Amino acid sequence: MAWTQAVQRWWQRRHLLNQQWTDARYVVVDIETSGLDANQDVMLAIAWIEVHPPCLDYQSARYFVLDSTADKNHDLKQSPVVHGLVQRDFNESSDSKLVLHELAQVLEDAVLVCHHTHLDWQFLQVAARHHEIKLSPLGWFDTLQFELRRLRNQQHHIPRGSLTLAAARGRYRLPDYHAHHAFNDAVACAELMLAQGYQYAGSAKASVKNLLQVGRVRL
């Protein structure tokens, strides 16, 4: 039975990866953390929104301030300055395990999209393992890596700061937004991903697999 299920899952995954990229479902995630070390720091807030090209599904959007600091007795470090999160924001924080369980369900058969996937995925994996939850997206698309490869292919000089979410959005003439808030950043990343996808694919003919190869990331 397990072998049969594995084969069925393989065929389903192959079918989903070979479909036109505009027919796929994407979950754009952004997290705010107390630092950059997934083994020492914690997630403070998380947000996500589903994308069904060419639309963002705002009914699917979620934003949570997490109870991670209480679980691990961490301080907020520079978060009040960087993210605007202060201690009172955690008075009614959400249960991290329940949030990750919901995210795991949302990610099923969907592509996970982040701006700097490597960092976000590390934090998500550490938290998921802590709660014995498995996160299994269909694939990963990194808007930062997409932009880096695009600029390199065009032989552009890449100055410091040119790969931030705001800077990347500017090159696609997307409007300015208020950064360093998980929900705002998730929506901003979702809009950037659509702009990148349509510029790369040009139509609905490119497959999900082809699109992911351009925005691939080593995890």
In a structure prediction context, what are the per-residue pLDDT tens digits for the chain, which is 219 residues long?
Answer: 566 766 677 678 888 899 999 999 999 999 988 888 898 888 889 999 999 999 999 999 999 998 865 544 455 554 443 445 656 566 678 899 999 999 999 999 999 999 999 999 999 999 999 999 999 999 999 999 999 988 888 877 788 888 999 999 999 999 998 877 899 999 999 999 999 999 887 666 788 988 888 766 555
Helix-strand-coil split of the chain, %, nearest 5:
45, 20, 35
- pTM here is 0.87
The answer, yes or no, to whether the previous bond of 53 is cis (omega within 30 of 0) is no
Q: What pLDDT does 26 receive?
A: 97
CB-count burial class (<10 Å; 0-12, 13-18, 19+) for 116: middle
Q: Which amino acid is at 187?
A: V
Report how far residue 61's alpha carbon sits from residue 47's, in angstroms, rounded to the nearest whole number: 7
The answer for residues whose C-beta is within 8 angstroms of residue 150's C-beta and 6 or more apart is 196
Q: What pLDDT does 178 receive?
A: 82
Per CATH, domain 22-214 is 3.30.420.10: yes
Q: b/e for 163-199, b at 16 or more Cβ within 10 A? A: bebeebbeeeebeeeeeebbbbbbbbbbbbbbbbbbe
Query: Domain coordinates of the chain in residue numbers?
Result: 22-214
The closest alpha carbon to 165, from 92, 97, 115, 209, belongs to 115
Report how far residue 170's alpha carbon sits from residue 168's, in angstroms, rounded to the nearest whole number: 5
3 state SS of 139:
strand
